């Protein structure tokens, strides 16, 4: 097969009109004496004729309208994209300012000046006082819970007392509820 490959390539080039007269003559001489290459020549020539005779296919109607609609959509996006970019930058800037400004004020100590302002200063003081009140309340509540949990885990007797108290309390509640329900049942008609 390898010996035929140069001639197969020459057949391909011949179909494209790229062989000179001498090469064409050499190819034709070989093809006349070689059944394998004659077969290749026949098959490639048939293909060549069929492919050359295949016409162009037409696009569907309204093809141009479809292209122009895509272009319109692209142009709209292109027009709007700077505004979207500006919007994104504004969002980022506002995020940076809202986080960075309080930090900067605190670090630089400028926040003290804010408290000296006539109206804003008193509101800020009140707000800060409320925040510290809530903070200390939460701290006390959490501290009590943590103290209790620490006591219960450290002392098994205390844990037993608490569990017993919970059992007694739930029993007592159950009994009370039962007593409330009993008169109602006795009054109901049989």
Partner 1 sequence: MCRCGVSTDQELVARVLDGDRNAFAQLVETYQRPVYNLTYRMLGDPREAEDAAQEAFLRAYKHLERYDPSRSFKTWLLSIASNYCIDRLRKRRLTWLSIDEPLPPHPSLTSDAPDPETSLIDSERNRAVQELLESLAPDYRAAIVLRYWYDMSYAEIAEMLETTESAIKSRLFRARQMLAQRVRAGDASELFMAMESA
Task: Using CB under 8 A, pick the residue from 66, 100, 143, 174 that binds partner 1.
Answer: 66
Task: Determine the Cα–Cα distance for residues 30 and 27; give it in Å rounded to an integer.
Answer: 5
Counting residues that bind partner 1 (by CB under 8 A) gives: 35
Task: Using CB under 8 A, pick the residue from 2, 3, 33, 64 that binds partner 1.
Answer: 64
| Under 8 Å between Cβ of 48 and 78 | no
Task: Using CB under 8 A, pick the residue from 36, 63, 133, 134 that binds partner 1.
Answer: 63
Q: Is 15 in the site for partner 1 (CB under 8 A)?
A: yes
- Residue partners of 24: CB distance under 8 A and separation at least 6: 14
Task: Using CB under 8 A, pick the residue from 36, 67, 81, 172 that binds partner 1.
Answer: 67
- Taking Cα atoms as reference points, which of 49, 8, 2 lies closest to residue 30? 8
Q: Is 39 in the site for partner 1 (CB under 8 A)?
A: yes
Q: Is 80 in the site for partner 1 (CB under 8 A)?
A: no
Q: Is 19 in the site for partner 1 (CB under 8 A)?
A: no
3-state SS, one letter per residue, for 135-167: HHHHHHHHHHHHHHHHHHHHCHHHHHHHHHHHH
Indicate the residue among 71 and 159 with the shorter CB distance to partner 1. Answer: 71
Q: Is 186 in the site for partner 1 (CB under 8 A)?
A: no
Q: Is 6 in the site for partner 1 (CB under 8 A)?
A: no
Task: Determine the Cα–Cα distance for residues 37 and 53; give it in Å rounded to an integer.
Answer: 24
Q: Is 57 in the site for partner 1 (CB under 8 A)?
A: yes
- Name the site residues for partner 1 (rule: CB under 8 A): 8-9, 11-13, 15-16, 18, 39-40, 43-44, 46-47, 49-60, 63-64, 66-68, 70-71, 74-75
């Amino acid at each position: 097969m390898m010996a035929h490959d140069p001639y197969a390539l020459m057949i391909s080039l011949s179909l494209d009109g790229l062989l000179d007269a001498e090469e064409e003559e050499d190819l034709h001489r070989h093809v006349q004496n070689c059944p394998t290459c004659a077969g290749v020549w026949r098959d490639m020539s048939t293909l060549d004729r069929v492919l050359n005779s295949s016409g162009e296919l037409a696009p569907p109607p309204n093809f141009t309208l479809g292209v122009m609609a895509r272009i319109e959509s692209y142009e709209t996006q292109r027009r709007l994209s700077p505004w979207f970019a500006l919007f994104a930058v504004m969002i980022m800037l506002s995020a940076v300012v809202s986080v960075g400004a309080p930090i900067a004020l605190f670090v630089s100590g400028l926040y003290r000046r804010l408290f000296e302002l006539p109206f804003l200063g008193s509101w800020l003081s009140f707000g800060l006082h409320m925040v510290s009140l809530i903070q200390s309340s939460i701290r006390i509540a959490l501290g009590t819970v943590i103290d209790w949990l620490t006591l219960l885990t450290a002392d098994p007797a205390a844990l037993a007392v608490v569990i017993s108290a919970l059992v007694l309390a739930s029993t007592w509640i159950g009994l009370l509820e039962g007593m409330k329900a009993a008169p109602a049942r006795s009054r109901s008609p049989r």
